[in-house]
Amino acid sequence: MPLETLTAVASALTAVVGLFVAVLAYRGFRRNDSPTMRALSIGIVCIAVVPYLILYLVGPAVDLADAEALLAITLSHTVGLAAIYRTFQY
Amino acid sequence: MIGEHARSVAAFDPQSGAAGWVDALESAVSHTLPLAPLQVEVEGGSTLVVLAAIVTFFVALLLSVLVTYRFVEGYRRTRARPILLLAVGMFLLAPGPMFVRLIVGNVAVIPLSAQLLTTTLSELCGLIVILYVVYSR
């Protein structure tokens, strides 16, 4: 299997597992009203799911330049990590 | 070029004072240094977007290290195994791949596909560790 195909499969799997973890964390937030779980859910979506969507769906669809896609992905990472970091202030 | 430089220095007239020094130096410099201004060429998008992407990358890197550190700190305080696993998972998910991108991205010998595969597998492993923690709660 070529390296590119392996990477594409691993990326898709990462997005699916990320979405599953985010749903579990969100259900934990709904059940226990835990802000930590809500932040973890938002963080995982922004770190693992949104970059995949930008790279493989939104980017090709709206013809994003490399730098624009990179900026969108790093912004998504920053938002997700900031959401998780905020929970440590509680 | 060296010959022209030597001629311009040899043409310096000591009787003309400071102005003569300036003229001679300017002449020497203009003969030895390239006249093109310093330019940085950016590929793959506008310069502003590339700069913004670099800045946000470093902000995200800093945040990822801080988040991982806070999890490690939480584990050292409570000795709770799930928090240790969250620290490991977070490291594999965010700062690990970012450091790989930062280091490997500047080494031309390693192909981009190998870098992408490494970072993606690291993220996947991190997510599986976090999944284990969230699922077992």
Of all residues in chain A, the one with the smallest CA distance to B74 is A88
Of B44, B123, B131, the CB nearest to A20: B131
**Which residues on B lie below 8 Å from A14 (Cβ)?**
120, 123-124, 127
Report the pLDDT averaged over residues A40-68. Answer: 93
For the ranges B21-30, B77-86, B113-122, which has the lowest average pLDDT?
B21-30
Chain A contact for B102, CB < 8 A? no
Residues A87 and B8: their CA atoms lie apart, in Å, by 68
Cross-chain residue pair B70–A88, CB shorter than 8 Å? yes
Is residue B113 assigned to a domain?
yes
Q: Is B106 left (phi over 0), alpha (psi -120 to 50) or beta?
A: alpha
**Which residues on B lie below 8 Å from A88 (Cβ)?**
67, 70
Residues A13 and A23: their CA atoms lie apart, in Å, by 15
Q: How confident is the model at residue B3 (pLDDT cuts 50, 70, 90)?
A: very low
pLDDT of residue B27: 54
pLDDT at B75 exceeding the cut of 60: yes
The model's pTM is 0.78
Distance of CA B137 to the CA centre of its chain: 39
In 3D space, the residue among A13, A89, A36 whose CA is nearest the CA of residue B90 turns out to be A36
Residue B113 near residue B99 (C-beta atoms within 8 A): no
Residue A64 near residue A58 (C-beta atoms within 8 A): yes
Cα B98–Cα A81–Cα A28 angle in degrees, nearest 5: 125
Residues B57 and B110: their CA atoms lie apart, in Å, by 21
Same domain, B78 and B130: yes
Q: Where are the domains of chain A?
A: 3-87
pLDDT of residue B42: 63
Q: How confident is the model at residue B8 (pLDDT cuts 50, 70, 90)?
A: very low
Residue B120 near residue A14 (C-beta atoms within 8 A): yes
Same domain, B128 and B79: yes
Same domain, B108 and B85: yes
Q: How confident is the model at residue A45 (pLDDT cuts 50, 70, 90)?
A: very high
Is residue B54 assigned to a domain?
yes
Same domain, B7 and B56: no
- List pLDDT tens digits, range A13-40: 999 999 999 999 999 999 999 999 999 9
Complex ipTM value: 0.92
Report the pLDDT averaged over residues B16-29. Answer: 52
Is residue B38 assigned to a domain?
no
Residues B101 and B65: their CA atoms lie apart, in Å, by 15
What is the residue whose two structure tokens read 């001629």? B7
Residues B32 and A85: their CA atoms lie apart, in Å, by 54
- List pLDDT tens digits, range B43-55: 667 889 999 999 9
Chain A contact for B131, CB < 8 A? yes
Buried-state track A65-79, b at ≥16 Cβ within 10 A, e below 16 = eebbbbbbbbbbbbb
Q: How confident is the model at residue B1 (pLDDT cuts 50, 70, 90)?
A: very low
Residue B137 near residue B82 (C-beta atoms within 8 A): yes
Same domain, B97 and B58: yes
pLDDT of residue A70: 92
Cross-chain residue pair B94–A68, CB shorter than 8 Å? no
Chain A contact for B112, CB < 8 A? no
pLDDT of residue A3: 84
Q: How confident is the model at residue B59 (pLDDT cuts 50, 70, 90)?
A: very high
Distance from CA of B84 to the nearest CA of A (A): 15
The most distant pair of C-alpha atoms in chain A lies apart, rounded to whole Å, by 47
Q: At what angle do helices B81-93 and B95-104 cross, to 10 degrees?
A: 30
pLDDT of residue A2: 84
- Residue B80 neighbours by CB distance under 10 Å: 11
Is residue B109 assigned to a domain?
yes
Domain count for chain B, please give it: 2
Chain A contact for B135, CB < 8 A? yes
Is residue B73 assigned to a domain?
yes
**Which residues on A lie below 8 Å from B113 (Cβ)?**
3-4, 7
Is residue B40 assigned to a domain?
no
Same domain, B86 and B113: yes
Same domain, B15 and B72: no
Distance from CA of B38 to the nearest CA of A (A): 22
Domain that holds residue B11: 2-32
